[in-house]
């Protein structure tokens, strides 16, 4: 669960002191080793591979079901 404190900052922080934020030891720099376009292409290729495997699995299950179900041949499934 969540809870909320309904108090003034003077009641929460002893002595009414202000909370300070500690500066970073080193300046923030985003990872720029790999260009964004290369990273996006890699992600897209990986996504396409995952989707291709997913479609292949679905198609294999359809073929297996068509073999199990009587009077269901591949010619009938292609026509609808």
Convert the pLDDT of each residue in 16-43 to its tens digit. Answer: 556 667 777 777 666 556 688 899 999 9
- CA 66 from centre of chain: 34
Give the list of residues 6+ apart from residue 51 with CB closer than 8 angstroms, or none.
none
Mean of per-residue pLDDT scores for the chain = 77
The answer, yes or no, to whether residue 63 has pLDDT greater than 80, is: yes
Q: Whole-prediction pTM value?
A: 0.44
- Interatomic CA distance for residues 37 and 68, integer angstroms: 47
pLDDT value of residue 21: 72
């Amino acid at each position: 669960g969540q809870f909320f404190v309904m108090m003034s900052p003077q009641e929460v922080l002893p002595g009414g002191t202000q909370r300070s934020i500690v500066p970073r030891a080193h300046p923030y720099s985003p990872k720029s080793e790999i260009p964004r376009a290369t990273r996006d292409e890699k992600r897209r290729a990986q996504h396409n591979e995952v989707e291709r495997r997913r479609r292949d699995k679905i198609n294999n299950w359809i073929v297996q079901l068509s073999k199990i179900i009587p009077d269901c041949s591949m010619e009938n499934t292609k026509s609808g």
